[in-house]
Chains A and B, each alone.
Chain A
């Protein structure tokens, strides 16, 4: 099962005395096949885990870069079935665990049970659903569990200890600790409160705790790797692809960034 693969990949990174590197890219950006190649390059460059974004019309938790990428992907006609195919192809080409990250409405509309079944059949490891808080998640979790998928919850600095425990008890795979209060996008520095949030989260669970939002370079990756089990990078990868003159140079830039970040997560401890 791919959820187990996710667990073993994260455990292996831990055993190597380093943090895992998790890279995000929306499916269909700039094209379905282009995104598959970019994500493959991210693994070749050093990503341990891939998050495939399901582009959404109203991405309220995303900053301008991912909004733009989602918009281009949707205008290009990307459909849910293309997203699931992307998950399958990236997993097949790289052997890495591949998660799907999406807003809840597309999954709800597709049908939670059907989505879980199709994602699992494609080799997906699980889902991150940032606008499905734990109190609304029971139906999804049942479907996910039945199909051997992990459900990764996001925790925030504003999450109180009691609620943290409730969230981590319901989650699986890993816990996504948001480094800052805000939307996706690169930042000059990783939030001061991230370390404290990781510590508070660890006190409630044995799951790995990975930090995302705002991490864009090797220095930040190294800093986060000093206290977290994984480092999640999204916007910086998308931006490399967006700023490139063509797909080939974009893929090379994405691979190079993965390499820099992979070094970052290894120097810290």
Chain B
């Protein structure tokens, strides 16, 4: 479920209680295979016809000591028979493979939620490592939940015994045993996972056999044993989904493919210069495997070299991309100024994380909006766009290359740790369907000047080395508007500053006008957002409208320049609430640009917004206004 108020129907299907949506969270040690377990559950759930969204959350430590609270890895999936827009506010079912996993996640549960846990893991040693003085399974502290303790380790070892593998290898199958039980609980098909196990352990058939045995045993356990609390399993009906070919995709994957597609549509060599940083390195890893598409990846010596190499690539006639997270973007700022001054296309991906400084590298935040729009010395405008969900990253990748090459400008792409790692089903597009005018290099020597501009959008010509007859020099020193030669002329600097700003402003001429995602184009309140808050705001607005509130959702892809009609659109609402995971950056931008009395709903806990938090904030504000108008 995404929110308790909309919990699903209570009908029965084949002896199973029917649910509209469910949130399951798997939690265990980093070494327990939690992410793999979640990935398999995601796949079979998609096959079952449910819509879904997932949220993997793993510790910053690479190999934290087993059994400790800081070594817990979790994977949450929200799935159901309607459109699923977030990974869920909180789990309905927590699968905790040890006491530490229980301890870390308990605070997110509501009374009556289900806990499935490995009773065999509650040894004195594990309890101590998790910081429990007494065994929570025995001291009554869990009585408000529906706890199902099962001897998972013991049952797993029994199940794999016939295969004859070591106890250590056997115990590693307990995630598959647990998965088997959850498959039974939600009536999922085991076959795709069985096939996957055979592929994964191709060279070691005994491990494949053991894992399949564990999966089947977990499933059989659900079927035959009466689970405590009279659990008989659930049915989740299929969602209404647009027909077509689907796959599950993470934001990292979608963005890398979007960039490859964008480069292909542009007819350009894709060059990524990057320096490893959490949580942005995925893009480097994924693109490094795509050499057969002509993609060049360069792991640079530092963040400055990474962006400078990308600038060099664009200068030479490729499309340069650099990727990092906030601290790395800060290091790239000077070079961004060069790309702005030299008016070269460039894509800069910022997978935002919580800061300042090292901050919380694996936790998500949207606090680099100011850095993206303003974070450079001098008047240094560039385009900023934001991805709203994992699958949306594909279109954003294509769009970034389109804007960069059409307008000869750096484009900052804002993603975040949540989008990069989370996944959702994606209706796979046909790349041929994208409207994209490939850029043309300038080759005509007659009348050539390096800063010749398109009279409409003010983009300068792209004249690349290797072209005879137009040899020229560019750089970071101010250039004469007409000749491109170095110029210290005061009036010329004013003119060039104005041109650079106007060039970026005119990107908006190409952009679609902003429309509400949900609701009318005017009303009592617009909830405005950008980036990964899309799902949470959307579901909250749907719920609030069902309760009769006159609320609309406006979600921005284009942060700079802003859509032409945005000011007018916002002016049509009595109030504007900007929900973002920072202390009010878009809010301040909108106030500054449009003089709208926007208010902020802000959260910086490193965790995504909950739907209930947004609903609560909207209700509270609207009710307060109602009260005020009554008093008047």
State yes or no: do A and B come from one complex: no
A interface residues (Cβ-Cβ under 8 A, vs B): none
